[in-house]
A and B are shown apart, each in its own frame.
Chain A
Amino acid sequence: MEFETVIGLEVHVELSTQSKIYCTCSTAFGAEENTHVCPVCMGFPGTLPALNKQAVEYCVKAGLALNCKINQYSRQDRKHYFYPDLPKAFQTSQYDLPLCYDGYVDLRVPEGDPLDGKVNKPAYTKRIGITRIHIEEDAGKLIHASGATRVDCNRCGVPLIEIVTEPDFRTSGEVYAFLQHLRNVLLYANVSNCRMEEGSMRCDVNLSLRPSPDAPFGTRTETKNIASLSATVRAIEYERARQRKILEKGGAITQDTLRWDDERGVNYAMRSKEDAHDYFYFPEPDIMPIVIDDAWLSSIKASLPELPHERRKRYTEALGLPDYDADFLVGEKAISDLFDACVALGAAPKTVSNWLMSDVARLCNDTNTGFDELWFGAKGLYELISLVEKGTISRTAGSKVLEAMFAPGERRSPGELVSALGLAQVSDEGAILELCKTVIAANEKAVKDYRAGKEKAMTSLVGQVMKASKGKANPAIVNRLMRELLNG
């Protein structure tokens, strides 16, 4: 039997504000347990929340970047449950008046398996609906060790946005492409660092199957605890197969909440619909309604940085780059930022793009380095490109210099490396002329062949000169002098 898979997502993203949503504690990741806490985020008696305006602005920015409408009158609600990592026994969230609603993403979905490691070309474009984006606070963390359980409240009160999509996905490939796109847009909008490994981006998957695209939705399950992009794909494929097996045997899906175990590659039920929580939602009386007047909204709009589709347009239209280059560059904000910085220093756009797509991309991949983590930055890359463009070194030597720049602990500039590695190109015509004469004298046959009209013989002769110069002779000069000698 064939089934159509229907998937909707709930994505939680930590906002990159300096301080928490209701107090002035730091949001920095990785601090010692319970050091970024105060009576407010620990829920001590008598304390009250003071809403961080920046968190509201970041949420609205995310909404604008995802084509949402903005509720200019919004409010927060309390969502109650008891758990030791939730100090107040309620999470301050938004229930019926989220800050953003009714948005969309026009997704370019690549062909093939998202996990095959290849860069696949976009196969089709699909619109994914964004139901809502609301603001809420994160909870703390339980640490189970040596027979005891301890609570770390450092994450309590870190601002989050929850992005809820429509059930518009049909494959894990679409979900993968969406999450990549979402991460990219939020990075461009500068509202989150979206580090899944630090838990600053988390994804819950709602999935159901139905016999045909026009059948009503089937019973869905919700899979939680998915900690990476690739784990999302694995969790979806597993759950799809599990539901399919049940349905093929004539069984029924129960509306469970599942927990994904990526190590073992399986999910298991956390709770069923019968023991679903009643969260006793009601409007948070300690926080006034969030009113975003027109002036505030326009200032948020104005502060929104250039988004990926806008950059892409600039690259193809103003800078004249091919579509392929533009897609590659905007595909990751760090690459695009590096590109823009090099171009701003004066490099030719297409030349920078070529370097980034080839050598830089390969070396970053081999050394597992992010484009934003290069010690030499745009300045170093620009210097290297300039050395090649000016003819100080050959393009091949340029690759060698870049490789050297990627060596662990290397801090010498491209110029210094050129000297240290002896890669400077020889453009001294007298020296090159001597080399050409030596090669001509030693290769009578090739000289004869060339004079008899065999153009190929020239390539061999030039190659010999390059070899004799240990690759440092300027190939253009070699070519010209060799022709002059033989034709003269």
Chain B
Amino acid sequence: MDIRDLTVAELSALLAEGKLSSTEITKAYLSAIEKEDGFIRSYITVTAEKALSDAAAADERRSRGTPLSPLDGIPFALKDNFCTKGIKTTCASRMLENFVPPYTATAVKKLEQAGCVLLGKLNMDEFAMGSSTETSYFFKTKNPVDPERVPGGSSGGSAAAVAARLAPFALGTDTGGSIRQPAAFCGIVGMKPTYGRVSRFGVVAFASSLDQVGPMTRTVYDNALILSVIAGHDPMDASSLPHPVPDYAASAKDGILDGMRVGLPEELLGPGISPAIREAVLKAADVLREKGAVVEKCSLPRVKYALPAYYIISSAEAASNLGRYDGIRFGYAAQDVESISELYTKSRSEGFGWEVKRRILLGTFALSSGYYDAYYKRAQQVRTLIMQDYDNAFERFDCLLTPVAPVTAWKFGEMSKDPLEMYAADICTVSVNVAGLCGLSVPCGTDENGLPIGAQFIAKPLCEETLYRAGAALYGR
């Protein structure tokens, strides 16, 4: 038995039976990281010492018969935009290269309270802006399936670490597809929950009205287990939803769909989607039919406007959220400056990378007086129309089935020349964030190069259970 092949559910069972200790599991992962991550490069920071002492504490609790939860002692890793008290939180940016927060993100706190053991912090696109993890200030992360290719992004480090068995599970964040797309590229399961389902407190903000935290796992069941732990209302996040958290894992068990109505939006299966992906998604539809689902074509006529609306709204909010990096209280501060305006200009010019600067410029433009109505306001109006499209679809369907991305993982540098080309690759995922829905990415085959393809299920707000049912039917527990 290789410990690293075990799912979270299996680890939990073996820990409960006393057949495995948290220390054994943690050591197995730490030594794998030491041996293999020099090649994959998914971790920015490894918290080995803390992990071993946390694991020992978990074992101690187990031996006394007082585990904190069924997940007590199970290791995990975090995208490096989750604030962790006393541990460097870089956002893969020079700006926060040495930033050590004095607080921990709520989602992470919940995992800690369940006894989970932090292994370290994972690479990402700088400030979560990108679709390939290539905009990281530090280094590029390889796709474990094909090391010449990107792992996707922005949660590329999280996807690579889980796929390469360098962590049993990881948390990511998803603003326009940043959990689902790297999950698809690396062949794992990624959930973007409903906006507000998981607290954003302590997650370094990119675009406040779109950001959401979610689990990245090897199985659908594991994913549901983790979401049950991290979801719920947080008084520190006014946008977090007060609704009770169901036992998501209960939904991820049942393989029979018994009359579930699944829509296939034709706009997201048309030209621009690679033939292998279209074929794989249509095959997935057949699998669902076999399990008892009713699958029919449908239309989201205005979903094509989601991409421009997304890039305007997310850039505007990012420009606002990133104003605080001014070199005064924390983060990178330029030296030898003569004036306050020079401190601002040099700190921000030197501390941010190109993609971040590009989004700040775009966002500032979209909010400037004289252009606000044509860009930001219009984008918000489009947002309402896209919600209406989805509302209409959800009158007929329990969930929708689409590709996660129009292409599979690309080679390093292949898409970095023209930013618009890379932005366009977000076409299938952004509308879910724009409309505040939930979306699940599960593997559904491979292309001609053996690269993983992801299927995306989309459901109404707070219908994560539907997604887990459909996901488990397609991909198994």
Contacts and interface: CB of A to CB of B under 8 A. Distances in A.
Interface in A147-164: 151
Nearest to B89: A45
Interface string B78-107: 000111000001010000100101110100
Contacts of A280: 319-320, 364, 367-369
Given A51-B238, A84-B328, A288-B239, A46 B320 contact: no
A87 B329 contact: yes
Interface string A40-51: 001111111111
Interface stretch (B32-40, B149-157, B201-209, B295-303): B201-209
Contacts of B344: 82
A428 to B, nearest CB: 73
A49 B238 contact: yes
A287 interface: yes
Nearest to A49: B238
Interface in B212-239: 235-239
B323 interface: yes
A39 interface: yes
Interface string B318-341: 011001101011100000000010
A407 B202 CA distance: 57
Interface string B227-259: 000000001111100000000000000000000
A78 interface: yes
Contact of A45 (B330, B368, B369): B330
Interface in A247-283: 278, 280-282
Interface string B170-212: 0000000000000000000000000000001111110111000
A80 B201 contact: no
A48 B200 contact: yes
A19 to B, nearest CB: 14
B167 interface: no
B398 interface: no
B320 A90 contact: yes
Interface string A78-89: 101010100111
Given A87-B324, A88-B324, A47 B202 contact: yes
Contacts of A51: 238
Contacts of B330: 44-45
A46 B238 contact: no
A4 B241 CA distance: 56
A48 B201 CA distance: 6
Interface string A376-412: 0000000000000000000000000000000000000
Contacts of B103: 39, 44, 46-47
Given A87-B324, A88-B324, A282-B367, A48 B236 contact: yes
Nearest to A23: B236
Given A47-B202, A48-B200, A50-B235, A285 B323 contact: no
Contacts of B324: 43, 45, 87-89
A372 interface: no
A89 B323 contact: yes
B76 interface: no
Contacts of B372: 281-282
Contact of B323 (A39, A46, A49, A90): A90
Contacts of B464: none
Nearest to A84: B328
B316 interface: yes
A286 interface: yes
Contacts of A88: 323-324
B323 A151 contact: no
A51 B323 CA distance: 21
A264 to B, nearest CB: 25
Q: Which of B82, B96, B320, B340 has the most CB of A within 10 A?
A: B320
B54 interface: no
A46 B105 contact: yes
- Give the dominant DSSP class at B's interface: loop
A278 B344 CA distance: 18
B326 A89 contact: yes
A84 B238 contact: no
B320 A78 contact: yes
A90 B322 CA distance: 10
A47 B320 contact: no
B376 interface: yes
B323 A45 contact: no
Most buried by B among A49, A78, A89, A287: A89
A45 B376 contact: no
B102 A285 contact: no
B125 interface: no
A278 B330 CA distance: 26
A81 to B, nearest CB: 9
A90 B207 CA distance: 15
Interface in A71-109: 78, 80, 82, 84, 87-90
B205 A84 contact: no
A287 B200 CA distance: 13
B317 interface: yes
Given A89-B323, A89-B326, A280-B320, A45 B367 contact: no
Nearest to A279: B369
Nearest to A280: B367
Given A45-B205, A46-B202, A285 B317 contact: yes
Given A80-B323, A280-B320, A287-B238, A42 B367 contact: no
B96 A84 contact: no
Contacts of B208: 285-286
Contacts of A50: 235-236, 238
B329 A42 contact: yes
Interface string B273-299: 000000000000000000000000000
A386 B238 CA distance: 57
A89 B82 CA distance: 22
Interface in A172-213: none
A51 B235 CA distance: 10
A151 B209 contact: no
A80 B320 contact: yes
Interface in A16-55: 39, 42-51
Contact of B238 (A43, A48, A78): A48
Nearest to B317: A285
Interface string B358-382: 0000001001110010001000000
Contacts of B89: 45-46
A45 B105 CA distance: 11
B238 A151 contact: no
A281 B105 CA distance: 28
Contacts of B376: 282
A373 B316 CA distance: 52
A369 B207 CA distance: 53
Given A80-B320, A82-B344, A286-B208, A44 B101 contact: yes
A112 B324 CA distance: 50
A151 B343 CA distance: 15
B236 A285 contact: no
A282 B320 CA distance: 9
B102 A39 contact: yes
B237 A48 contact: yes
20 contacts: A39-B102, A39-B103, A43-B324, A44-B101, A44-B102, A45-B330, A46-B101, A46-B105, A46-B201, A48-B201, A50-B238, A51-B238, A80-B320, A80-B367, A84-B328, A89-B320, A280-B367, A285-B207, A285-B209, A286-B238
Interface of A: 39, 42-51, 78, 80, 82, 84, 87-90, 151, 278, 280-282, 285-288
Nearest 6 interchain pairs by C-beta: A89-B323, A285-B208, A285-B209, A280-B367, A45-B204, A46-B202
Given A45-B89, A49-B238, A88-B324, 18 more contacts: A46-B81, A46-B82, A46-B83, A46-B89, A46-B105, A46-B202, A47-B103, A48-B236, A50-B238, A80-B367, A82-B326, A89-B324, A278-B368, A280-B319, A280-B364, A280-B369, A285-B239, A286-B205
